[in-house]
Amino acid sequence: MTENTKSHTPTGYPDSYVPAILTQWAAAREIHARAIEEGVAWECANEDCEHDDECPTEEFAVCKECYGISVEASEEYFTPAFTWPCPTARALGAEAN
Ligand SMILES: [Zn+2]
Ligand SMILES: [Zn+2]
């Protein structure tokens, strides 16, 4: 018996990888963390509202990383795509409240 007798995680990684995997998981969760930002709602951004020219800002729970990337692309609006938990955070086990 060789490899097959060694203990493995359910994903097939050897158990000895677990500390490194946990470190990487925690780092990824830290990057894709929840943050509160103020901005204009998606409906307002699409002018799908009754606010005339005075759209109020609201607070949104966003992914720090994904929202940061979106701000670099376009400073103006929040979109549902950047609310937290983002797809990456969800893949890492994050749940909305
Ligand atoms: Zn994210
Ligand atoms: Zn509006």
Q: Which ligand is nearest to the CA of 89?
A: 1
Q: How far apart are CA 61 and CA 35, in angstroms?
A: 6
Beta-carbon contacts of residue 54 (< 8 Å; ≥ 6 apart): none
Q: Which ligand is nearest to the CA of 62?
A: 1
pTM: 0.68
Mean pLDDT of all residues in 28-51: 88
Q: Which ligand is nearest to the CA of 32?
A: 1
Q: How close is the Cα of 77 to the center of ligand 2, in Å?
A: 11
Mean pLDDT of all residues in 78-95: 84
Least confidently predicted of 4-8, 16-20, 78-82: 78-82
9 or 90, which is more confident: 90
